[in-house]
Structure 1
Amino acid sequence: MLVSSSPWLSEEIPADARVKIHVLPPVSGRVGKLSEHPDPLVQAGLLGQGAVLTTSSHQVLAPMSGKVVACDPLSYSFLLHTRQGLRLTIAYGFDTARLMGEKCEFKVRVGDQVKAGQVVLQINPVWLKRQQIPNCCTVTVRNTGKLRALVITSARQVTPQHDTLFTVYA
């Protein structure tokens, strides 16, 4: 199981990687690097490494199968522990705490096992945009210690269950 954290991972595929894990997009949208996110903490990688999607999706799906270990309506986010040992944080928007969880509806509970592509969170992107919440969704890996690389897809647009958002190598 992968459990610790480390500095930035390589963005190059290691020639001798033994483990390759594909992480699916939780929403349809335009792929970007975390440096494009409006939150300086996300930009700096303090919340993990991964990718950001610009989206208008109203449902946020599980990017992998695993166990939901946290659902936070204030941050419109959830934490997923995957069967492969990844700890993923999936978050919609930025600066959402002021909304007090309004229009944030979880379709699962903490402790539930979910399958890749299952709806976890339902939101209202039009309402959030009116509240000046950016229409972005981040997927970050929290425990990168045993990983060697995280390679974001070269595709500009991705859709859930058809594309890979990024691949991690160990």
Structure 2
Amino acid sequence: MWTTNPVNAKQLQYAPDTFSKQFETLTPFSGQVVPLAQTDDPFFKNGYMGPGAAVTSTSNTIVAPFVGKVLNVSPLDYAIDIQSKVGLKCRIKYGGDTCHLHGAQFKCALKRGDTFNVSQTLFTVNSAWLKQQGVSNVCALTLLNANALIGIVPTRQKFVDAATDPLLTLYL
């Protein structure tokens, strides 16, 4: 069940009554949708990285949810900050606590400033190896500049396919 987080009042259960535009952000990862509150990363779980959603899976590829450019890649390749052509800024991160792995089994396909198309590979992981290391197979997508939006509604689908199904609906 999705709930409104006081830290991120932008995350809604239903569409707002009034809005001027509506956009959908595709999912970067195939699997089962889970609320951020059910992830084991405290920054995502408590809403400090913005509103969003997560997907659990054993997939090894994280793809672009829209056309855009790379703002930043974590030094250990497990997270990437991206921006859409309309200005939406997102962080996509794989796994919970991954710092202790020193980037092992993560490979980012892009660098800061690169542009990408929808469904293009952003980074890959070795999900089986990471699971053996105790890292959860969850990929989180959060909105870094959600303050410009009226609200965000996560998908109600239980399972999603990467770059095909919407993960978030955004309202301006």
Instruction: Please indicate the TM-score interval, normalised by the length of the shorter structure.
Output: over 0.9
Task: Evaluate the alpha carbon distance shift between residue 90 and residue 36 of structure 1 in structure 2; reply closer, same or farther with a 3 A threshold.
Answer: same
1:96-135 CA distances to partner (integer Å, 9 max, x unpaired)?
A: 1111111111111111111111001011000000110000
Deviation at 1:18, TM superposition (A): 1.0
Q: Is 1:169 aligned with 2:142?
A: no
Amino acid at match of 2:46: A
Deviates more, 1:38-47 or 1:90-99: 38-47
Q: 1:137 aligns with which of 114, 136, 139?
A: 139
The answer to whether the 8 A contact 1:75-1:92 is kept is no
Deviation at 1:16, TM superposition (A): 2.1
Structure 2 regions of 5+ residues with no counterpart? Answer: 1-6
Displaced runs of 4 or more, over 6 A: none
Amino acid at match of 1:98: H
Match of 1:89 in 2: 91
Amino acid at match of 2:9: W
SS in 2 for 1:138: strand
- Spell out the pairing of 1:12-91 with structure 2 (5 A cutoff): 12-74=14-76, 76-91=78-93
Amino acid at match of 2:93: A
Deviation at 1:40, TM superposition (A): 2.2
SS in 2 for 1:91: strand
Structure 1 regions of 5+ residues with no counterpart? Answer: 1-5
The answer to whether the 8 A contact 1:21-1:167 is kept is yes
Q: Is 1:8 aligned with 2:9?
A: yes
The TM-score, its normalising length taken from structure 1, stands at 0.92
The answer to whether the 8 A contact 1:73-1:104 is kept is no
The TM-score, its normalising length taken from structure 2, stands at 0.91
Paired with 1:32 and 1:130, the residues of 2 have a C-alpha distance of 21
SS in 2 for 1:52: strand
Deviation at 1:7, TM superposition (A): 4.0
Paired with 2:77 and 2:98, the residues of 1 have a C-alpha distance of 5
Paired with 1:31 and 1:89, the residues of 2 have a C-alpha distance of 17
Paired with 1:105 and 1:111, the residues of 2 have a C-alpha distance of 17
Deviation at 1:41, TM superposition (A): 2.1
